[in-house]
């Protein structure tokens, strides 16, 4: 699932009607979920957070910037926070299935549209910056809105998009791309803030001031304090005392959790605390966290326990919560804390039904869910069985030489299982879209043309979903073959069923590709897809036959 977060800041924190007008624009866009609206009266600024598909987020961001330009007037704005425009900043953040490069491109696309359609000068910052000096937002904001008119006259500060013309009503807008910011606190069994600060300074990238034997801060020839670097890059940390909990905490901001993940900093905090005679009791997540960060933590702690990390994501998250002590001071609800879980790709998903409900739904007279969803489910069952056999091989002495291999198989199978489960719903959604296009109006010639185009596009999508299942089925078959060769021989029959269900997934998906092709008018598309599907089907049968031979020889 491709998800992008957007966190625009608007220069209005007091007039709730104006704020609502802006956020309504965001909520009006399909495939976008508004997560949070945080107005600040003293700063006269509102921070809005929403997530969605890349295209949805692009559209929602533009609409919000446009509405802010309509309802806000910077010439009358006053507030404590630095700002240069009605929409002061608009960063795009990769959440899942997208890269930083994707978000940089989104920033460019939105900036171009804002400049051309709204005539607002745009500066690109952070990862989207076109000049090193513009990476730091503070450099762009020098002089703020009040100094913007003069700054735009300086060729060095011409906007990245738009004309260097001062717009008194809207000011300028900063659009960028950055990594996800995780706000996280580590709890200590002390009320002494100085001890928390001691650990924080050792952990954070900035480190601490170097001191001489008398405890005085050492400085360089320019009078600046000499720093001892901390242990973790992309980590900001301070120590403080929290009255509500009556404890000291290490308060941390992770500016790039992929460089320094929370679980490694947590483990190091435990060592630092023990060295000065105190103890870490747990931790607290402030706001949201990407699912990837939780899965990384779960895998990390399972590996430390000598167990296979190839388990379902729910189990990995549970291990992460327990290991990080995330319920030390308050309950941790993963449905509210993990950002991906805030976005519903499908309403009332099939995979959330119990087994009887799903089979009952399948048995009814509606055409969806049907064979395509069932093929995807077979792929998920195959992957689950491969993971099971892999995990039943982990830790067994007679399979010592293949431990690394089977752990890798378990992890890969779990990932593939989730891809197939998502496809169970995507296949049904794609089919329903086709049905919806046939219900479109066709009274006028224009309506007929629109309907025909929509039918063709929807039918292509309904073809590509099972094609992807067919492609992934090859991977499922390869994993099943590997575990049949290397896995626990007491579970060879399970490896065999993994092969059979993967073959069913492949051939079932193939049928669902082929049945759609006659309805697609684009010859190039149908020719290429058919050739690809035929080749994949042949490959699936070949690997399936190899698995059957391995299993049946072992069963003799």
Determine contact, residues 86/10, Cβ cutoff 8 Å: yes
- Contacts with 490 (C-beta within 8 Å, 6 or more apart), sequence order: 392
C-alpha pair distances (Å), 370 with each of 143, 176, 360 = 62, 43, 12
Q: Output the DSSP codes for 492-543.
A: HHHHHHHHHHHHHHHHHHHHHHHTTGGG---HHHHHHHHHHHHHHHHHHHHH
- Contacts with 138 (C-beta within 8 Å, 6 or more apart), sequence order: 82
Where would I find the H helices in 49-192? 54-71, 100-118, 137-140, 148-151
Between CA 137 and CA 146, with CA 141 as vertex, the angle to 5 degrees is 165
Q: Round to the nearest angstrom and report the end-to-end CA distance of the chain.
A: 44
CB atoms within 10 A of CB 305: 11
Tell me the C-alpha distance between 437 and 457, whole Å.
Answer: 9
Q: Which of 481, 483, 539, 478 is nearest to 509 (CA)?
A: 539
Sign of CA dihedral 137, 140, 142, 145: negative
- Contacts with 493 (C-beta within 8 Å, 6 or more apart), sequence order: 551, 555
Tell me the C-alpha distance between 150 and 343, whole Å.
Answer: 43
Residue 287 has which token pair? Answer: 């706001």
Q: Among all residues, which ones are annotated catalytic?
A: 81, 427
Tell me the C-alpha distance between 101 and 123, whole Å.
Answer: 17
């Amino acid at each position: 699932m491709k998800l992008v977060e957007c966190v625009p800041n608007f220069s209005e924190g007091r007039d709730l009607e104006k704020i609502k007008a802006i956020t309504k624009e965001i909520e009006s866009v399909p495939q976008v979920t508004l997560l949070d609206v945080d107005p600040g009266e003293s700063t006269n600024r509102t921070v809005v957070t929403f997530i969605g598909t890349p295209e949805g987020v692009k559209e929602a961001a533009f609409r919000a910037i446009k509405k802010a330009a309509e309802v806000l007037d910077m010439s009358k704005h006053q507030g404590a926070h630095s700002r240069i425009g009605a929409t002061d900043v608009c960063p795009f953040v990769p959440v899942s299935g997208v890269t930083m490069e994707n978000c940089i491109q989104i920033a460019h696309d939105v900036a171009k549209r804002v400049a051309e359609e709204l005539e607002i000068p745009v500066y690109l910052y952070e990862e989207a910056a076109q000049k090193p000096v513009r990476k730091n937002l503070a450099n762009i904001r020098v002089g703020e809105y009040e100094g913007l008119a003069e700054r735009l006259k300086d060729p060095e500060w011409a906007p990245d998009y738009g004309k260097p013309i001062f717009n008194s009503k809207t000011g300028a807008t900063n659009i960028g791309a950055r990594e996800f910011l995780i706000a996280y606190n580590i709890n200590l069994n002390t009320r002494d803030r100085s001890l928390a600060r001691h650990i924080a300074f050792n952990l954070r990238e900035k480190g601490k001031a170097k001191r001489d034997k008398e405890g005085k801060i050492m400085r360089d020839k320019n009078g600046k304090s000499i720093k001892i670097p901390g242990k973790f890059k992309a980590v900001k940390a301070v120590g403080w005392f929290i009255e509500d909990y009556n404890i000291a905490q290490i308060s941390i901001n992770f500016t790039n959790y992929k460089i320094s993940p929370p679980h490694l900093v947590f483990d190091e905090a435990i060592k630092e605390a023990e060295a000065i005679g105190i103890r870490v009791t747990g931790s607290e997540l402030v706001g949201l966290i990407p699912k990837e960060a939780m899965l990384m933590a779960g895998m990390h702690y399972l590996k430390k326990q000598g167990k296979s990390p190839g388990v379902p994501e729910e189990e990995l998250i549970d291990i992460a919560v327990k290991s990080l002590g995330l319920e030390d001071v308050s309950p941790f609800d993963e449905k509210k804390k993990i950002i991906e879980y805030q976005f519903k790709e499908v309403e009332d998903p099939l995979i959330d039904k119990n087994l009887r409900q799903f089979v009952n739904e399948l048995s009814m007279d509606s055409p969806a869910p049907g064979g395509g969803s069932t093929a995807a489910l077979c792929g998920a069952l195959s992957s689950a069985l491969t993971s099971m056999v892999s995990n039943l091989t982990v830790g067994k002495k007679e399979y010592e030489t293949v431990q690394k291999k089977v752990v890798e198989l378990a992890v890969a199978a779990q990932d593939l299982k989730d891809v197939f489960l998502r496809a169970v719903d995507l296949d049904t959604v794609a089919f329903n879209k086709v049905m919806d296009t046939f219900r479109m109006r066709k009274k006028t010639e224009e309506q007929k043309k629109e309907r025909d185009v929509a039918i063709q596009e929807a039918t292509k999508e309904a073809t590509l979903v099972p094609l992807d299942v067919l492609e992934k089925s090859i991977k499922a078959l390869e994993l099943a073959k590997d575990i049949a060769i290397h896995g626990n021989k007491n579970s060879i029959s399970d490896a065999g069923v993994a092969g059979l269900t993967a073959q069913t997934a492949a051939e079932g998906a193939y049928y669902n590709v082929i049945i759609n092709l006659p309805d697609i008018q684009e010859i190039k598309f149908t020719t290429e897809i058919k050739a690809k599907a035929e080749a994949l089907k042949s490959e699936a049968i070949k690997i399936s036959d190899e698995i059957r031979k391995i299993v049946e020889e072992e069963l003799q």
